[in-house]
Amino acid sequence: MPKRIILMWMGLLGVILLVFGFLAFTQQARQNVTVPASEFISKVENGDITRVTIAGNQIHGESKGSIGYNSYVSEKEELVRALHDKRVPYEEKEPSDNSSLVGLIVKIGLAVFIAFLLLKMIKGAGANNTMLKQQTSHKAKLFDQLEKKTFADVAGVDEAVEECRDFVTSLKDPTKFAKLGGRSPKGILLVGPPGNGKTLLARAIAGEAGVPFFAGSASAFVEMFVGVGASRVRDLFDHAKKHMPCIVFIDEIDAVGKTRSGHTGPGAHEEREQTLNQLLVEMDGFEPNKGILVIAATNRPETLDKALTRSGRLDRTVVVPPPDVRGREAILRVHARDKKMAPNVDYTAVALGTAGLVGADLEMLLNEAAIDAAKRGQNEISTEDIERAKEKVFMGPERKSAVLSAKTKEIIAWHEAGHAIVGWFTHEAHTPHRVTIIPRGMALGLTWFLPAEDVVLRSRKELLADIKVAFGGRAAEKLLLQDDYTTGASNDLERASEIAERMVKNFGMGDGLGFGTFAKKEQGYGFDPSKGFSEETAVRIDAEQKRILEDCESRVLTMLTDKLDLLKQLANTLLAEETIGVDRLTAILGPRPVA
């Protein structure tokens, strides 16, 4: 802080000096020269002086050129005589140096004015600027006006919600814990990836407790000007203190809370540190049980400065993890509440097919589906709309502009039918769920699979099944085109090879190689040329990978040759209908044989 103030005053002083320097310079530009009285009089006598002003004993004469002369005389008689002689016009002014005094006042006034402007600018960047105040308070108000959220709006993160119920109790009755000498939590750190509902959960705590919610984003605190962040933090808390009990929410806390040794630009560094310090000051500045609960959110808790998570600050951590399949289903149902959904929508299936999506994604998914349904003039959202929205979310929009020849379409249909059939009849594979030959994003066609549950562990047979399913496309092409198959399988083959490699090298699943792993640990920066195993082992690893891949390939070719009729039928259905769901698959292929 003091460093900043010193800098500020130094800047101010610099500007004042500059102003005076400038004024002095402009005066010099008029080129006044001060000369001794004798010289002045001789200049008058020589006729160099054209006009003279006398003020007390100060005299000023203008010459024919651009130069003016100043001088001092104690005895004016000689000068006046000379002026009379040469008929130089002169005027006598009040002895006090009025004109130059006025000049001085103007100069000082100007300097003060500029200094004032500058001070205001610096203040604006730092303390108590009204505009900033309005900005923060405006934001805070805006959050007050937001739709109220409750725990019922937060789904799929039940443990986190449970932990938050305590905080609601202490906000509703800040003295409740204090009665027994307990300390209400002062600060909570919500930890989890983006879109998991951290902000939502914080708002729900406010909603449940019925208290105002003041929010700021730490990344927005840290601006270009040093001091802005600190002042915004101060404003946020000033505001909050007037509305206790309440919640102060700080999003993306890592933007200011990074460990203080980080090396970024010096300016950014100092600004962040000041903002962080201000935050710590504010958090220490109110007593516990006073009814301000600070909630901060981050997805990178490991980068946070220890000072932030110390006792009495953000000392409670609530993890908001990505939802599992049941969580995703619950989230879908929450967001389905305010939409016109068809009664037969299978939320479980949608949840199974959206592994990896978080709350925000699922909300977007249903929103896309709603928009799509409205565009089609439907009056409710069907499973089909959700499936299409899913394809869009995962694969990008339909490439309607892609004009494909009949031959290309046929190859794509066979290729996808191959994947689907191998998946359908391979026990350990996930269930083929939807097949489409509408190009989307980079894909020309796609077969979707649904796992029976969220994938946690994969067994050896499941990995082999993945390889077989991946080979299904190329194998079908081979049956259709014999030796003139296409590049369409390149991703499939890449994936299959990778699985085989990892089976042998990482998972100890290669026959005859024992339980050893042969994967290089990708650590550090340097490249360690030693493989960690002999050439002989390397040869066996290669051979084992090759064997796995060849074995899968021949099995897939045999399977599809056996089911050539079904393959043809499925491909033709795809050509006609472009997209088929699990119901049509069952109709064509028969019930899926279960493992």
Which residue number, 194 or 396, has a Cβ lying nearer to ligand ADP? 194
Residues that bind Zn ion (CB under 5 A): 473, 492
- 71 is an interface residue for ligand ADP by CB under 6 A: no
Spatial neighbors of 172 by CB under 8 A, at least 6 apart, are: 209, 210, 245
- Of 89-97, 154-162, 368-376, 543-551, the window that binds ligand ADP (rule: CB under 6 A) is 154-162
Cα(247)–Cα(185) distance, rounded to whole angstroms? 12
Pick what 393 binds: ligand ADP, Mg ion, Zn ion, none; C-beta below 5 to 8 Å, kind-dependent: none
Helix (H) or strand (E) holding 318: strand 316-319
Pick what 473 binds: Mg ion, ligand ADP, Zn ion, none; C-beta below 5 to 8 Å, kind-dependent: Zn ion
| Closest CB 360 distance from ligand ADP, rounded Å | 4
Q: Which amino acid is at 179?
A: K
Indicate the residue whose CB is closest to ligand ADP. Answer: 359
Residue with tokens 């892609």: 402
Using CB under 6 A as the criterion, what x/- string covers residues 360-379 for binding ligand ADP? x--x----------------
Which residue number, 48 or 492, has a Cβ lying nearer to Zn ion? 492
Whether omega for the bond prior to residue 432 falls within 30 degrees of 0, making it cis, is no
Is residue 384 annotated as a catalytic residue, yes or no? no
**CA 290 to the chain's CA centroid:** 33
Which one from 252, 416, 477, 553 is the annotated catalytic residue?
416
Which residue number, 199 or 289, has a Cβ lying nearer to ligand ADP? 199
Taking CB under 6 A as the criterion, the residue among 73, 226, 297, 332 binding ligand ADP is 297
Pick what 255 binds: Mg ion, ligand ADP, Zn ion, none; C-beta below 5 to 8 Å, kind-dependent: none
Name residue 443's beta-bridge partners.
Answer: 440
- 217 is an interface residue for Mg ion by CB under 5 A: no
Indicate the residue whose CB is closest to Mg ion. Answer: 199
- 204 is an interface residue for ligand ADP by CB under 6 A: no
Pick what 157 binds: ligand ADP, Zn ion, Mg ion, none; C-beta below 5 to 8 Å, kind-dependent: ligand ADP
Residue with tokens 């725990």: 151
Taking CB under 6 A as the criterion, the residue among 59, 88, 155, 585 binding ligand ADP is 155
Tally of CB atoms within 10 A around 292? 26
Taking CB under 6 A as the criterion, the residue among 19, 157, 211, 255 binding ligand ADP is 157
Q: Is 298 left (phi over 0), alpha (psi -120 to 50) or beta?
A: beta
| Closest CB 335 distance from ligand ADP, rounded Å | 6
Q: What phi and psi values does residue 165 have, to the nearest 5 degrees? A: -65, -35
Using CB under 6 A as the criterion, what x/- string covers residues 315-354 for binding ligand ADP? ----------------x--x--------------------
Cα(236)–Cα(283) distance, rounded to whole angstroms? 12
Tally of CB atoms within 10 A around 323? 27
Q: Is 420 exposed, middle or buried (0-12, 13-18, 19+ CB in 10 A)?
A: buried
Pick what 114 binds: Mg ion, ligand ADP, Zn ion, none; C-beta below 5 to 8 Å, kind-dependent: none
Taking CB under 5 A as the criterion, the residue among 71, 170, 199, 298 binding Mg ion is 199
- Of 28-36, 162-170, 198-206, 548-556, the window that binds Mg ion (rule: CB under 5 A) is 198-206
- Of 192-200, 411-419, 505-513, 542-550, the window that binds ligand ADP (rule: CB under 6 A) is 192-200
- 207 is an interface residue for ligand ADP by CB under 6 A: no
Find, among 283, 289, 295, 292, the residue nearest to 189 by Cα: 295
Report yes or no: 579 and 436 within 8 Å, Cβ to Cβ: yes
Report yes or no: 155 and 333 within 8 Å, Cβ to Cβ: yes
Report yes or no: 498 and 445 within 8 Å, Cβ to Cβ: no
Taking CB under 6 A as the criterion, the residue among 21, 194, 267, 285 binding ligand ADP is 194
Cα(473)–Cα(467) distance, rounded to whole angstroms? 11
Report yes or no: 187 and 351 within 8 Å, Cβ to Cβ: no
- 54 is an interface residue for ligand ADP by CB under 6 A: no
- 174 is an interface residue for ligand ADP by CB under 6 A: no
Taking CB under 6 A as the criterion, the residue among 136, 170, 199, 426 binding ligand ADP is 199
Q: What share of the chain is helix, strand, coil (3-state, %, to 5)?
A: 55, 10, 30
Sign, CA dihedral 253-255-258-260, equals negative
Spatial neighbors of 395 by CB under 8 A, at least 6 apart, are: 440, 441, 442, 443, 446
Pick what 492 binds: Mg ion, Zn ion, ligand ADP, none; C-beta below 5 to 8 Å, kind-dependent: Zn ion
Contact residues toward Mg ion (CB under 5 A) are: 199
Question: Could you list the active site residues?
Answer: 416
Contact residues toward ligand ADP (CB under 6 A) are: 154-157, 192, 194-200, 297, 331, 334, 359-360, 363
